[in-house]
Amino acid sequence: MSQQATVQNKDIAQIANQHSGSRRFGPVDITYNLNIAEEQATVSASMMGVSLGKTILTPEHQQSSLGGNVSLDNALIKLEIDFSEKKIIAFVEVNMMGNPIFKSNVTLLDW
């Protein structure tokens, strides 16, 4: 096998270990980036363009929460990663002017 083919195979393997995406729940955006090889996921959230925080999930730190208030609206995001089930799951609650507009458990990523 040529050196070029080896480099290309390594690049393909690295790309295969990366999973990124985002989900929107009303005014809340959740963005994630999973690196399977390093067993870590970076998750951030924003509401109407205002950051609600960022966290890194690992086998040692499998749960985290993000959230906050923007004007009269608020959001709570409870995150969990399960490497054996190969999932990033979240409980998302969004309230606007004191009224709930979204409240549910969701799967952000299955791999």
User: Does 1 score more than 80 pLDDT?
Assistant: no
pLDDT computed for residue 50 by the predictor: 97
Angle made by CA atoms 46, 51, 52, in degrees to the nearest 5? 75
What percent of the chain clears pLDDT 90, i.e. is strictly above it? 86
* pTM for the predicted model, two decimal places: 0.86
- Nearest residue to 40 (alpha-carbon basis) of 66, 20, 25, 24: 20
- Estimate the share of the chain in helix, then strand, then coil, as percent rounded to the nearest 5: 15, 65, 25
Report the pLDDT averaged over residues 75-91: 97
pLDDT band per the 50, 70, 90 thresholds, residue 16: confident
Cβ atoms of 32 and 20 within 8 Å: the answer is: yes
Q: How far is CA 26 from the centre of its chain?
A: 16
